[in-house]
Amino acid sequence: MLGVSENPARPAAGVRLCTLAEIADPGGKSFRFRAEAKLFAGFVLRRGDTVTGFVDSCPHAGWPLAPFDDRYLTRDQRHILCAGHGALFTLDGQCVVGPCEGEALTPWPVELRGGEVWTA
C-alpha cells in the first residue's frame, strides 16, 4: 500500500487551488485530485490572510473530516471537527478530544501568493 506522500494523485508543489476569497473566513475548503484509481483528499483552512493545509484523512479511521460540506471548524471556530466520530483538533492539527487523542492530522503544505492559494 502506498503512503500518503507516495499517493500519485497528490498534486505537486505549484498547483493553484483557488482564490483566497473562495474560502470562508474563518473556514475551510476541500480539494480532491484523482489519478486513475487513486484519490488525494486535502483541505485548506483560512483565518484572515493565513492558510493551512491538511490531508483530509482523520487519524482515527481515515475518513474525510467533513465529507458532505466544507464545515471543518467547530461552531466556535476554535477547533477542527471530524464529523466521523466527533474528534476535535487544534487549528494546527493536534487531536485533543476523541478516539485519536494524541495523534495529528498530516500537514499538506500550501501557500498564499497574490490572493491565490497554491500547493507548496
Amino acid present at 117: V
66 counts as binding ligand FES under rule CB under 6 A: no
Strand blocks (E) in 1-120: 16-19, 27-35, 38-47, 50-55, 80-81, 88-89, 95-97, 110-113, 116-119
96 counts as binding ligand FES under rule CB under 6 A: no
97 counts as binding ligand FES under rule CB under 6 A: no
DSSP 8-state assignment for residue 42:
E
Q: The C-alpha cell of 70 is what? A: 466544507
CA-nearest of 13, 9, 5 to 110 is: 13
Phi, psi of 33 (to 5 degrees): -130, 140
73 counts as binding ligand FES under rule CB under 6 A: no
82 counts as binding ligand FES under rule CB under 6 A: yes
- Figure out which of the listed residues 16, 34, 85, 113 binds ligand FES, where binding follows CB under 6 A: 85
Q: Of the listed pieces 14-22, 27-35, 83-91, 112-120, which binds ligand FES according to CB under 6 A?
A: 83-91
105 counts as binding ligand FES under rule CB under 6 A: no
- Figure out which of the listed residues 30, 47, 63, 101 binds ligand FES, where binding follows CB under 6 A: 63
Give the HSE-up count for residue 88: Cα atoms under 13 Å, Cβ half-sphere.
9
Count residues near ligand FES (CB under 6 A). 10
Site residues for ligand FES per CB under 6 A: 58, 60-61, 63, 82, 84-85, 87, 98-99
